[in-house]
Amino acid sequence: MSLILFDEAKPRVEDERPVNEASHGHGGKRNARSRLWQHPFEPLIVVPYRVAAAIAVMEMGISEYSVIADAVGLTIEEVERVDLVEDPAVRRLALARIPVGESFKLSRRVRCPKCQARVRLVPCIGCRSC
């Protein structure tokens, strides 16, 4: 009996399969939808990839929640929560900013407010190189 109970408690095996994109140490957890992103220089900053992407889009100067939500695959409410920086990790990231060299792939293109290019990777590479 006790053996069965023990056996039932055991199989909490996280299947951590390596994720190709964003392999900064902690690549992904479980599936792509909930995968996490870790700041390369601030190990305490770990947020969902989409949240980091949303911040990157905001840093480009895009402030329309619906546009950001579409681009990164969050709901408008989730984008609003990111913008309100209620989460401590989000707050740290907003202060630390997205590091140079880091880029996020969007599910939908956005128009860069500076160079008007429609970009799928944020921050806008074109603008960043100037």
Does 126 help bind Zn ion (rule: CB under 5 A)?
Answer: yes
Residue from 52, 69, 112, 122 in contact with Zn ion (CB under 5 A): 112
Binding of residue 114 to Zn ion (CB under 5 A): yes
Q: Taking CB under 5 A as the rule, does residue 111 contact Zn ion?
A: no
User: Cβ of residue 24: shortest distance to Zn ion, in angstroms?
Assistant: 24
Give, in order, the Cα–Cα distances in Å from 97 to each of 30, 79, 123.
26, 17, 11
Spatial distance between the Cα atoms of 118 and 62, rounded to a whole number of angstroms = 12
The answer to whether residues 40 and 33 touch, using CB atoms and an 8 Å cutoff, is no
Least distance CB 130 / Zn ion (angstroms): 9
Contacts of 8 (CB under 8 A, 6+ apart): none
| Helix/strand/coil for 76 | helix
Quote the least distance from Cβ 56 to Zn ion, whole Å: 12
According to the binding rule CB under 5 A, does residue 82 interact with Zn ion? no
Chain contacts with Zn ion (rule: CB under 5 A)? 112, 114-115, 124, 126-127
